[in-house]
A and B are shown apart, each in its own frame.
Chain A
Amino acid sequence: MTDFSANDHTTHEAGMGDYFALLKPRVMSLVVFTALVGLLVAPVPVHPFLGFVAILCIAVGAGASGALNMWWDADIDAVMKRTVGRPIPSGRVAPGEALGIGVALSGFSILLLGLATNFLAAGLLAFTIFFYLVVYSMWLKRATPQNIVIGGAAGAFPPMIGWAVATGGVSIESLLMFALIFMWTPPHFWALALFVKSDYGRAGVPMLTETHGRDATRRHVLVYTLLLVPVALGLGLTSIGGPVYMAVAVVMNAWFLKGAYDIWRRDDAACEADKHRVEIKVFKVSLYYLFAHFGALLAEAALRLYGFGGWSW
C-alpha cells in the first residue's frame, strides 16, 4: 500500500500566486499609476482612505478584465511562446476558475467603487471591463490588424476614472488624459512589434507587421506619433497643465517624434544590420514618454499646493 498521491497533474490545485498571475500584475501597475494621477490632479480633494479604496477598486477591476481576457484567449495563449506559461495554458488554473474569478472581481470592484465614491466612476470602470473583454478580446483582436488602436481605449480609461472619482464628472482634462494614452498605445506597441519575433500569425491573430508588412507598420508608427503630439501639448493648456508639464511635453514629444521619424526612414536591411537598435530605443523612449507626461501632471498638482503650478502664477 502506498500513500495516496494528490500531486499529479489531474489534481493540481492552484495556489494564490497562480490566481494573482491571472490579474496581469504588470498591466495593473500602469493602471494604478495613471488612475492615481487622474485622481490627484483633479481640482476636488478626496479623502485619502476613499482615494485608496478607489485606486484599489480600479486595480482589481483591471485585474478582473485581465482574468477574463485570459479565459477567452486561452487558445491563443497556448500557441504563443510568450504566453504559453500563463496560468490557464500551463494547466495551473482551470478556465472555469478564471471566468469565475473575473466575473466575481468585476462585480466586486464596480459595486464597491460605486458605493465608496460615485456611480459615474463605477460606470466607467464597468465600461472599461466590457470594452476590454467584449470589444477588444472577443471582437477586434482576431478580426483586424487595427485591434490595438481601438482596443487601446481600454487602457486609456483609468485616469478618466480617477478624475471621475474626485469630481463626479467628465471634463476636457480627463478626456485629454484618455486621448494621450489612447494615441500613445499604437506607436508604442508597433515599435515593439517591429523588433520582437512574434507568433501571432500562427495563433491566428492579425498583426500589422504580418498583414500589411513592416514598411506599413513603420508608416503607422510615424503617423500615430504625429497625431499624438497635439494631444500631449493640448493637455498642457488645460487647467491641470502648466510650464513644467509643457517643458516636459515639448522635450518628450520631440524625442519620440525623432525616433518615429528614424524608424520610418529605415528598411529591413538596416534593422537586421544593427539588430533593431533604433526600434528598441524608440520603444524605451515610449515608456519614458508616458511616465514623464503623467509625472509632470503630478508635479504641477504638487506645485499648486504651494501656490505655484498651472498657468496662473
Chain B
Amino acid sequence: MVIRVEHELHTRRKGRNAGVGLLLVGFIAIVFGLTVVKVLQLDDIRQFETFDHAPRPQLVPIPEVTE
C-alpha cells in the first residue's frame, strides 16, 4: 500500500491556513501603518520622545544667548 503523505484534507486546510496567514500579515500591516501615520501626525516629534517621561539632554530646549 502506498502511503499518501498529502491527503485531500491537507490541501483543503492549506487554503484555510494561507487565508489566516494573509489576514495576520494584513493586520500587522494595518497596525504598522497606523503607527506611522499617528506618529507623523504629531506636530512636534518631541511629543513622541517623551513617552516614558525620562529626562533626556536632547529634549531640553537650548536657552538663547543674549548680550
Q: Give chain A's interface residues, CB within 8 Å of chain B.
A: 1, 3, 6-7, 13-16, 47, 49-50, 53, 56, 112, 115-116
Q: Judging by beta carbons under 8 Å apart, are A7 and B8 in contact?
A: yes
> What is the CA–CA distance of A56 and B41 in the complex, to the nearest angstrom?
21
> What is the CA–CA distance of A16 and B13 in the complex, to the nearest angstrom?
10
Q: Give the Cβ gap from A92 to chain B, nearest Cβ, in Å.
A: 12
Q: How many residues of B contact A (CB 8 A)?
A: 15
Given A3-B4, A6-B7, A49-B33: A15 touches B41 (CB 8 Å cut-off): no
Q: Which residues of B contact A116 (CB under 8 A)?
A: 34
Quick one: closest B residue to A7, CB to CB?
A: B8
Q: Which residues of B contact A112 (CB under 8 A)?
A: 30
Q: Judging by beta carbons under 8 Å apart, are B9 and A16 in contact?
A: no
What are 22 A-to-B residue pairs whose CB atoms are below 8 Å?
A: A1-B1, A3-B4, A6-B7, A6-B8, A6-B9, A7-B8, A13-B9, A13-B13, A14-B16, A15-B12, A15-B15, A15-B16, A15-B19, A16-B19, A47-B37, A47-B41, A49-B34, A49-B37, A53-B30, A53-B33, A112-B30, A116-B34
Q: Which residues of B contact A56 (CB under 8 A)?
A: 30
Q: Give chain B's interface residues, CB within 8 Å of chain A.
A: 1, 4, 7-9, 12-13, 15-16, 19, 30, 33-34, 37, 41
Given A47-B41, A49-B33, A49-B34: A16 touches B16 (CB 8 Å cut-off): yes
Quick one: closest A residue to B17, CB to CB?
A: A16
Q: Which residues of A contact B8 (CB under 8 A)?
A: 6-7
> What is the CA–CA distance of A1 and B34 in the complex, to the nearest angstrom?
56
Instruction: Beyond the given A49-B33, A50-B34, A115-B34, please list 15 additional residue pairs across the A-B interface where CB-CB is below 8 A.
Output: A3-B4, A6-B7, A6-B9, A7-B8, A7-B9, A13-B9, A14-B16, A15-B19, A16-B15, A16-B16, A47-B37, A49-B34, A53-B30, A53-B34, A56-B30
> What is the CA–CA distance of A38 and B3 in the complex, to the nearest angstrom?
58
Q: Which residues of A contact B19 (CB under 8 A)?
A: 15-16
> What is the CA–CA distance of A53 and B30 in the complex, to the nearest angstrom?
7
> What is the CA–CA distance of A50 and B40 in the complex, to the nearest angstrom?
12
> What is the CA–CA distance of A115 and B9 in the complex, to the nearest angstrom?
39
> What is the CA–CA distance of A174 and B49 in the complex, to the nearest angstrom?
38
Q: Give the Cβ gap from B51 to chain A, nearest Cβ, in Å.
A: 16
> What is the CA–CA distance of A115 and B15 in the complex, to the nearest angstrom?
31
Q: Which residues of B contact A50 (CB under 8 A)?
A: 34, 37
> What is the CA–CA distance of A50 and B7 in the complex, to the nearest angstrom?
43
> What is the CA–CA distance of A225 and B23 in the complex, to the nearest angstrom?
42
> What is the CA–CA distance of A134 and B2 in the complex, to the nearest angstrom?
54
Q: Give the Cβ gap from A94 to chain B, nearest Cβ, in Å.
A: 14
> What is the CA–CA distance of A15 and B13 in the complex, to the nearest angstrom?
8
Q: Which residues of B contact A47 (CB under 8 A)?
A: 37, 41
Q: Give the Cβ gap from B63 to chain A, nearest Cβ, in Å.
A: 36
**Residue among A1, A3, A14 with most chain B CB within 10 A:** A3
> What is the CA–CA distance of A50 and B33 in the complex, to the nearest angstrom?
9
Q: Which residues of B contact A14 (CB under 8 A)?
A: 16
> What is the CA–CA distance of A49 and B16 in the complex, to the nearest angstrom?
28
Q: Give the Cβ gap from A122 to chain B, nearest Cβ, in Å.
A: 14
